[in-house]
A and B are shown apart, each in its own frame.
Chain A
Amino acid sequence: MDERLCADTWTESSSPANELPKKVPPDHQPFTNFNLQQYQQKWEEDPSIQDYAMSIEPQFPEFNLPCETPSSVACNPSNQTKNEPLDASRIQDWDPRAMLNNLSFLEQKIHQLQDLVHLIVGRRTQVAARSDELVAQQQQLITADLTSIIVQLISTAGSLLPSLTQTLSSNGTPFISQLGQLSGVVFPSGPNLNGSVFPQNSKVSDQSNHVDLTGNCKTEQNCIEDELKDEDDADEGEHLSPGSYEILQLEKEEILAPHTHFCIICGKGFKRDANLRMHMRGHGDEYKTPAALAKPNKETNSEPMLIKRYSCPFAGCKRNKDHKKFQPLKTILCVKNHYKRTHCDKSYTCSRCNTKKFSVIADLKTHEKHCGRDKWLCSCGTTFSRKDKLFGHIALFQGHTPAIPLEEAKGSAAGSSDRGENSEETNKVELNLGTNFSCGSGDQNGNDAKGGVDDPPSFFSPLTFDTCNLGGFHEFPRPLFDDSETSFSFLMSGSCSYPRKTREESCSDKT
């Protein structure tokens, strides 16, 4: 009963109305465009996966819910105006310079938006010959981009109202505690947050970052502590019974938000607290003190910490606290990855195999590192990057044998048509990127030749046919086909329809 009560309060406090403005905080995004600088500061102690996630994700802030975001965006402005007096925490005063910044940001964004729409228009005309699936995929990507820009636009525009920020600062509610995405209300007590949950310094995970923030602005924290006292008490009372740990549940929107740490002055978002701390130095000398720059969990804390565990917001999930056999998640990172992997669409498709899909971009990256080189294939379909692993697998299971790659198998014109398409696509991408054409096509050559057999003759250069008919040895046309490979792949430089392309382009835009 108590549990349920608690859950209720959570859901209340973390209702979308509250969360949306936080997720896309007004004027916190002026520098999102320059995320790249931030990417480069890779922190040694972080797991590499996180690095990957960081470097790519911002480009698709809403990618996982392409259909949902527009609606949330629509209701955004109203929410903002309504809620900000209550929860948005602004310490900084209204600053005309910041406003100017915001305005130029707006301008930039509008240009971006224009470009995108242009792109869509251009695409429509090219797309005619493309398959429906590809078109849909592409549109999804563009919509995602569009959505993110619009959201940024709206939020920045909202922050331009000086009166609002004034009230915010006077209100004095610390913004950070909510930005920490723990749906603010549930904190048992402010000081408790200070870091002892994750004693390892090496783990600059989101939690400790959050804690760091609270530490940095103690006074505000105290305010909120007072305000939250009642709920905290209730919360603690509830938590006493189930176990020694406390359960926190993030909302879907928080989980999917690109940033977890925001600058209290300019609002720029960060994935890591350490990066935020580095950023804060630019805002004044008070942030350059060793204490301010220190890792928060080094601060001595007399009170014992409750161990925190996390619950997945998805009802019915085993990781959801209402599940009978609830298994809590250890960190926020776990929550994020779990949620994306289990409850989100797998929208990142591997460009090499075009079969494997991932919802966490880091997973895709990890896969892509090995994809293609996963040539050790078992008859059961499992692939291995190493031969000894495959042989270990075969030794274990009855009847499994190593599969021999298709390219060798298809001695004759039996090359499947979809294979041909795949190679076609990769070739196109390479051509469109204009660089290292040869690096990928080497792998694909085998496919090209086979795909070519089934393709309409118009794809062949006349030269190919000449060599075919030459000499009269019709029994052995195969080697002749091989010769024609290169010219064939050059002919494939048609218009682009490749899903990953947009991403790569945007990548190159930023550099």
Chain B
Amino acid sequence: MDSPPILSLLTEDLLVRVLANLSDDSDRKSFRSACRSFLRVDSLHRATIRILRPEFLHGLLRKYRAVEAIDLSVCPRIDDATVSVLFGGDAAAEWTRRLRRLVLSRAVGLGWAGLGMLVRACPGLEAVDVSYCCGFGDREAAALSCAGGLRELRLDKCLGVTDVGLAKVAVGCGRLERISLKWCLEITDLGIGLLANKCPDLKHLDISFTKVTSESLQAIGTLQKLEMLALAGCGLVDDIGLDNLGIGCPSLQVLDVSRCDKISSSGLISVIRGHSGLRQLYASYCFFELSTTLLYSLTELKNLKTISVDGAQVSGSSFHMICTNCKFLVEIGMSKCKGVTDTGLIQLASACPNLKILNLTCCDSITDAAISAITESCRNLSCLKAESCNLLTEKSLDVLGSRSLLLKDLDLTDCSGANDAGLNYLSECSELLCLKLGLCANISDKGLSYIASNCTMICELDLYRCTGIGDDGLAALSSGCKKLKRLNLSYCNEVTDRGLQFLGHLKELSDLELRGLVNITGTGLAALAAGCRRLSELDLKNCENINDSGFWALAYYSRNLRQINLSCCAISDVGLCMVMGNLTRLQDAKLVNLPNVSVQGLELALRACCVRLKKVKLLTYLAFHLSPEILNTLTARGCRVRWD
């Protein structure tokens, strides 16, 4: 069969370009199922792959010859044995050599032996992400340090990594350019000092929420190429450290000193003096008040694009200073700032026409006038967070809908001004991707249907406690917003089984919160499970009327489910065993207060899935009733048991 003429015009390089612009998974899926030549282009040029079932990895890699990056973070069972099967052997040799990036985030079952093997098998590794592998320690870091070509490493929340492990990495991977050590609580100044000594090429360094002191900053100051430094929540860093930073790090562009309790304006000023090239400055929850000297020093930052001063007290003069000194701001964070007024924001809006992202969370004294001024001057506004701004009325939504046509992200949580008429105005923002309407009790199915009919791009919608929303609204949603991925319907008590049946038409839906929906039963859940095959996170807490038939359907259909919250559900022993045993991708389960489940039933259910679980929440008293074997097994596999 001859290919249509239009496709013959599309040469392979053109197709590759088209493909490069398709970031969304579903779009890519549509692309490759269009025709054989598209599929060929896709399989030849696909560079990254994220898999849920590692058993298919070899087959997939035979098809995709150009894969350089593998993401195993959502696989439930990545352990030493799996890794040795995947990466060991001759079959793997060919593709492991071209592997550049590897995401092993939350691979809690993996040990140093497996990691070592993996690193040896992939000599070309340039980036590894082992963040949130809470059990990882020095031995794992040592295994990683064998990857000499590593440029990028994420060790976030690897709680066991100490200075020794970091030293291993620093010595072994001397060409590191990016490293993130967020939440590595064992890291001290010694480790950071050695890192700065051994890895002179570092560009990005994140040591947020660690216990480093100003001494580290002295060492970090020697890094000539450092562009990004995050120090959020480093409570031991003080002005002396910032002074040191001020005379070092000539290439610094991004600095995050949020929640550093010990620093004051003078420290930050000395950093600003030394770095006129600073582009982004995050100083949330540092200062009680924004001092005028600090704001004055911003004059030197000609390239400043982002400033975040959440939680500080601002005054009219502060706004004036910002307006006169920072003309090119793109992003401003003023959440929970006291003293944010309409006049201030009007000034700011006229001074910063390039503004795209504005966070005004909890600035409760602003009115429609401010929003009007902002929409008038900042035509590129793409993100507005106005949670708890109770003085805003539908007029604000009107101006947003008529002027801010590029708006993608809007947070109106707890804004009583958001009503059906307002949503009608807002539906003009057809680019909207994320809309948060939680606690907006004034919206009803009618308002939602306006949004659903016009904002078809929406992929995240929060309707938490929007008690006016019912099945009809969901019907409109399911027909309009086909791209919806995340939906929160918690405590929308009007929703019944019929609503869930509509939701079953949203094929893309992956995260769904249905907390406290007492009117849904097993029938609704069965319909939902049968329809939403991509469902990966489901919260059914307090859905007391779902019976086992619903859970059986869930166990049968939702094979991609990764997280489930069944707390306070009426699930029985058998139902729980079915769910936990059959859902082979399940990694995180909250199983608190299950009135119809016996200890034996829970034990059996846990045994059925103990090799896959990464996180489980149980009632405290069960610690003494469950068998020690199952608890030992869980902990040995790296599963974190949270006792409630």
Contact of B139 with A387 in the complex, beta carbons under 8 Å:
no
Q: Using known A-B contacts A391-B190, A395-B198, determine if residue A411 contacts B163 with beta carbons closer than 8 Å.
A: no
Contact of B171 with A479 in the complex, beta carbons under 8 Å:
no
Select one of A388, A411, A478 contacting B190, CB under 8 A. A388
A401, CB-defined interface residue at 8 Å:
yes
Which residues of chain A in 397-445 are interfacial with respect to chain B, using CB atoms and an 8 Å cutoff? Answer: 399-402, 404, 408-409, 411
The residues of B that contact A471 with a CB separation of less than 8 Å are 627-629
Contact of B633 with A411 in the complex, beta carbons under 8 Å:
no
Give per-residue flags for A368-408: 1 if the beta carbon is below 8 A from chain B beta carbons, else 0: 00000000000000000001100100110001111010001
Contact of B167 with A391 in the complex, beta carbons under 8 Å:
yes
Select one of A399, A404, A472, A473 contacting B171, CB under 8 A. A399
Closest chain A residue to B160, Cβ basis: A408
Contact of A479 with B113 in the complex, beta carbons under 8 Å:
no
Contact of A401 with B172 in the complex, beta carbons under 8 Å:
yes
Q: Using known A-B contacts A394-B171, A402-B168, determine if residue A408 contacts B633 with beta carbons closer than 8 Å.
A: no
Contact of A479 with B142 in the complex, beta carbons under 8 Å:
no
Contact of A387 with B163 in the complex, beta carbons under 8 Å:
yes
Distance from A198 Cβ to chain B, minimum over Cβ atoms (Å) = 42
Bound together, the chains give a CA A110 to CA B139 distance in angstroms of 59
Q: Using known A-B contacts A394-B194, A411-B113, determine if residue A401 contacts B138 with beta carbons closer than 8 Å.
A: no
B468, CB-defined interface residue at 8 Å:
no
B574, CB-defined interface residue at 8 Å:
no
Distance from B607 Cβ to chain A, minimum over Cβ atoms (Å) = 10
Distance from A475 Cβ to chain B, minimum over Cβ atoms (Å) = 8
B164, CB-defined interface residue at 8 Å:
yes
The residues of B that contact A387 with a CB separation of less than 8 Å are 163, 190
Bound together, the chains give a CA A473 to CA B632 distance in angstroms of 9
Give per-residue flags for B151-186: 1 if the beta carbon is below 8 A from chain A beta carbons, else 0: 000000000000111011001100000000000000
B344, CB-defined interface residue at 8 Å:
no
Q: Using known A-B contacts A394-B194, A395-B193, A408-B139, determine if residue A401 contacts B113 with beta carbons closer than 8 Å.
A: no
Distance from B15 Cβ to chain A, minimum over Cβ atoms (Å) = 47
Give per-residue flags for B587-606: 1 if the beta carbon is below 8 A from chain A beta carbons, else 0: 00000000000000000000
Distance from B162 Cβ to chain A, minimum over Cβ atoms (Å) = 9
Closest chain A residue to B191, Cβ basis: A391
Contact of A411 with B111 in the complex, beta carbons under 8 Å:
yes
The residues of B that contact A395 with a CB separation of less than 8 Å are 193-194, 197-198
The residues of A that contact B194 with a CB separation of less than 8 Å are 391, 394-395
Chain A-chain B contacts (Cβ-Cβ < 8 Å), number: 55
B216, CB-defined interface residue at 8 Å:
no
Bound together, the chains give a CA A401 to CA B143 distance in angstroms of 13
Distance from B376 Cβ to chain A, minimum over Cβ atoms (Å) = 57
Bound together, the chains give a CA A199 to CA B477 distance in angstroms of 99
Closest chain B residue to A476, Cβ basis: B636
The residues of A that contact B197 with a CB separation of less than 8 Å are 395
Q: Which of B137, B167, B191, B197 has the most CB of A within 10 A?
A: B167
Distance from A391 Cβ to chain B, minimum over Cβ atoms (Å) = 5
Distance from B629 Cβ to chain A, minimum over Cβ atoms (Å) = 4
Contact of B627 with A402 in the complex, beta carbons under 8 Å:
no
The residues of A that contact B139 with a CB separation of less than 8 Å are 404, 408-409
Distance from B288 Cβ to chain A, minimum over Cβ atoms (Å) = 36
Distance from B559 Cβ to chain A, minimum over Cβ atoms (Å) = 26
B318, CB-defined interface residue at 8 Å:
no
Bound together, the chains give a CA A401 to CA B168 distance in angstroms of 6
Contact of A394 with B636 in the complex, beta carbons under 8 Å:
no
Contact of B167 with A476 in the complex, beta carbons under 8 Å:
no
The residues of A that contact B424 with a CB separation of less than 8 Å are none
Which residues of chain A in 157-176 are interfacial with respect to chain B, using CB atoms and an 8 Å cutoff? Answer: none
The residues of B that contact A411 with a CB separation of less than 8 Å are 111, 113
Bound together, the chains give a CA A476 to CA B633 distance in angstroms of 7
Give per-residue flags for B543-558: 1 if the beta carbon is below 8 A from chain A beta carbons, else 0: 0000000000000000
Contact of A401 with B171 in the complex, beta carbons under 8 Å:
yes
The residues of B that contact A476 with a CB separation of less than 8 Å are 632-633, 636
B584, CB-defined interface residue at 8 Å:
no
Bound together, the chains give a CA A401 to CA B165 distance in angstroms of 9
The residues of A that contact B137 with a CB separation of less than 8 Å are 408
Contact of B167 with A479 in the complex, beta carbons under 8 Å:
no
Contact of B167 with A473 in the complex, beta carbons under 8 Å:
no
The residues of B that contact A473 with a CB separation of less than 8 Å are 629, 632-633
Distance from B93 Cβ to chain A, minimum over Cβ atoms (Å) = 26
Distance from B25 Cβ to chain A, minimum over Cβ atoms (Å) = 36
Bound together, the chains give a CA A154 to CA B164 distance in angstroms of 59
Which residues of chain B in 103-140 are interfacial with respect to chain A, using CB atoms and an 8 Å cutoff? Answer: 111, 113, 137-139
Give per-residue flags for B7-22: 1 if the beta carbon is below 8 A from chain A beta carbons, else 0: 0000000000000000
Closest chain A residue to B197, Cβ basis: A395
Q: Using known A-B contacts A391-B194, A404-B138, determine if residue A479 contacts B632 with beta carbons closer than 8 Å.
A: yes
The residues of A that contact B193 with a CB separation of less than 8 Å are 391, 395
Contact of B145 with A408 in the complex, beta carbons under 8 Å:
no
Closest chain B residue to A404, Cβ basis: B138
Contact of B636 with A401 in the complex, beta carbons under 8 Å:
no
Closest chain B residue to A396, Cβ basis: B197
The residues of B that contact A400 with a CB separation of less than 8 Å are 171
Distance from A232 Cβ to chain B, minimum over Cβ atoms (Å) = 60
Closest chain A residue to B190, Cβ basis: A391
Distance from B210 Cβ to chain A, minimum over Cβ atoms (Å) = 16
Q: Which of A388, A400, A473, A475 has the most CB of B within 10 A?
A: A473
The residues of B that contact A475 with a CB separation of less than 8 Å are 633, 636
Closest chain A residue to B611, Cβ basis: A475
Distance from B506 Cβ to chain A, minimum over Cβ atoms (Å) = 41
The residues of B that contact A404 with a CB separation of less than 8 Å are 138-139, 142, 164-165, 168
Distance from A280 Cβ to chain B, minimum over Cβ atoms (Å) = 55
The residues of B that contact A394 with a CB separation of less than 8 Å are 167, 171, 194
Bound together, the chains give a CA A395 to CA B196 distance in angstroms of 10
Bound together, the chains give a CA A394 to CA B628 distance in angstroms of 43
Distance from A395 Cβ to chain B, minimum over Cβ atoms (Å) = 5
Give per-residue flags for B477-516: 1 if the beta carbon is below 8 A from chain A beta carbons, else 0: 0000000000000000000000000000000000000000
Closest chain B residue to A403, Cβ basis: B164
Bound together, the chains give a CA A471 to CA B193 distance in angstroms of 48
The residues of B that contact A391 with a CB separation of less than 8 Å are 163, 167, 190-191, 193-194
Bound together, the chains give a CA A367 to CA B165 distance in angstroms of 27
Bound together, the chains give a CA A402 to CA B168 distance in angstroms of 7
Which residues of chain A in 340-358 are interfacial with respect to chain B, using CB atoms and an 8 Å cutoff? Answer: none
Bound together, the chains give a CA A475 to CA B630 distance in angstroms of 12
Give per-residue flags for B614-643: 1 if the beta carbon is below 8 A from chain A beta carbons, else 0: 000000000000011100110010000000
Which residues of chain B in 558-595 are interfacial with respect to chain A, using CB atoms and an 8 Å cutoff? Answer: none
The residues of A that contact B628 with a CB separation of less than 8 Å are 471
Contact of B632 with A401 in the complex, beta carbons under 8 Å:
no
Bound together, the chains give a CA A361 to CA B295 distance in angstroms of 67
Q: Using known A-B contacts A388-B190, A395-B197, A411-B111, determine if residue A402 contacts B164 with beta carbons closer than 8 Å.
A: yes
Give per-residue flags for A454-487: 1 if the beta carbon is below 8 A from chain B beta carbons, else 0: 0000000000000000011101101100000000
The residues of A that contact B633 with a CB separation of less than 8 Å are 473, 475-476
Q: Using known A-B contacts A391-B190, A408-B139, A479-B636, determine if residue A402 contacts B629 with beta carbons closer than 8 Å.
A: no
Distance from B115 Cβ to chain A, minimum over Cβ atoms (Å) = 13
Q: Which of B113, B138, B627 has the most CB of A within 10 A?
A: B138
Bound together, the chains give a CA A97 to CA B111 distance in angstroms of 78
Closest chain B residue to A375, Cβ basis: B164
Distance from A314 Cβ to chain B, minimum over Cβ atoms (Å) = 42
Contact of A402 with B167 in the complex, beta carbons under 8 Å:
yes
Q: Which of B168, B171, B628 has the most CB of A within 10 A?
A: B171
Closest 4 CB pairs of A and B: A471-B629, A402-B164, A401-B171, A391-B190
Extra 11 A-B pairs, beta carbons < 8 Å, given A402-B163, A476-B636, A478-B636? A391-B193, A394-B171, A395-B197, A401-B167, A404-B139, A404-B142, A404-B164, A408-B139, A411-B111, A475-B633, A475-B636
Q: What are 9 A-B contacts with C-beta separation under 8 Å? A: A391-B167, A391-B194, A394-B171, A402-B164, A402-B167, A404-B164, A471-B628, A473-B632, A476-B633
User: Measuring CB to CB, which residues of chain B are less than 8 angstroms from any residue of chain A?
Assistant: 111, 113, 137-139, 142, 145, 163-165, 167-168, 171-172, 190-191, 193-194, 197-198, 627-629, 632-633, 636
